[in-house]
Structure 1
Amino acid sequence: MTDQAVTAREGFVELDWDGRRQRVEFARVGVDDPAAPLLVFLHEGLGSVSMWRDFPQQMAQALGWRGLVYSRPAYGRSTPKRAEDRWRPDFMHRQAQEVLPQVLAALGHAPSSSGERLWLFGHSDGGSIALLHAAAFPDQVAGLVVCAPHLFVEALTVASIEEAREAYASTDLRAKLAKYHDDPDSAFRGWNDIWLDPDFLAWNIEAEVASVRCPVLAVQGQDDQYGTMAQIDRIAQGLPAGQVELLKLDACGHSPHRDQPKALIDRVVDFVHRRAGPDSRSK
């Protein structure tokens, strides 16, 4: 790991993970100020650095913070999944407890060396990963924003993912995903296969979420085709009163940052300033 790679605005870092050397695509957004807080963006189950478009830049700029975006292994321009590999039901735990800490360390944000307490912004699977990371490392996370996170498997989610499987086989969905992933089969199959695996139906992270100690803003669209309000309601029910704030958006599907970006950014800025204090632009 070189100093140039650590300080670059975009590029790749390399990790030893899952039995091999893998590269991870990253981009830095927001202010270029090492004293500003860091917000790490964790993408959805079919996401990548490029699929966020300019939302991380808008969000970080509105806060006056630094932002870090990366594509998990198998996504974007990161190392693709091998065709024979099959993810296990603990795949989000491994991303939260193994991959994210390695990415942070490779980019100079390891809490043991930097002293930083991170904020995480996670969408869908990325929201679940954010919650799992905060539960595993409660002293290292200052706050969470989770949009359309999954805490357990719902019939609605499975039905929508089955529809996505049919669309991938019979429409131009693969070609559309190829705009954001070097290997769209890697991204799609990894996500789709595990969510439709019978062994995944019992997946539930409510016990882990009960260990989260930081403030949480949980966001869900009223028209989300991949999850119901029960997902974020369970976060509020499982944590002490006052720790969690809920934002339920009308005219909004599974991606609040695309469907309602202004409402989301405005609420996140308000949430952060209240929870992190009036000097949150620099701390």
Structure 2
Amino acid sequence: MVTKPNEAVRLLNFNSSVNSKIVKTKNHHTFLLRCRDDNTVPNGLKRRSPIHTDNPFIFKILHQASSRILKVQVQQLRRKKASLENYEVQQPPAADKPIGKTIRHETYTKKTVINLSSKQLTTAQTSLLCKGLKFVPTCSNIKTDEYIIGIESGLQQLAPNGNIDYLRHQIADLIKQSPKQRSNLSPQERKAINELRNDKNITITEADKGKAAVIMDTPDFHDLVNKTLSDTSTYKILPKDPTAKLERQHKKTLKTLHDSNQINCV
């Protein structure tokens, strides 16, 4: 039996709505887990004293109450996430396999992932891309030496009196004492990162509107870029990089405004 077009559209909209709720719930759950691990309470969950007081004992009680509310909220979101995932699985479209595949595929891709390539994305790859191109995976092991080397250039400004070694050791101790971060990706999603990174046949970019992840075949992407740049009414070839000239003009303009007291040094 083939599902009627209206029924297919209804199921697609339903599954898309459920998938959107799952993504939002996962993001909210991940955020609250980080707050819990860092012993930080979001402003929306903080309990405040109804009267003005500086009593530290009262602040301690309020913080403990806020922390308990945070833990309860984490548990509720975990149950909600599991319920939504199970609910989506229990709502298969009553259609033949081709229509079912299309509906399930568009369930994931609508609004968050748009696959225009010939590559069939796996569930883990789609789940990873649904998190957005600005999503930052947590690092399980912090490389202390590399971190210190990265801030070495700023140590002189942070320690003007010459106590660079002391500050370096303080930073290293803070890193070592910091709690181990909880992974915000599943093992399959971490594997999907390498799979997508090493696949040179596709190009992943961000949509102009909606911040969706767009997957295209690399040749098609290059053709699109070349076609866009060939529009002489919008773009033109420059004989050289104008950045240095623009910087000089910018500095000259700022100096003129400063000398005429139209701007200050703040």
TM range (shorter): under 0.3
Query: What TM-score, normalized by structure 2, do the two folds share?
Result: 0.26
Kindly name which structure, 1 or 2, has the bigger radius of gyration based on alpha carbons: 2
> Going by fraction, where is helix more abundant, 1 or 2?
2
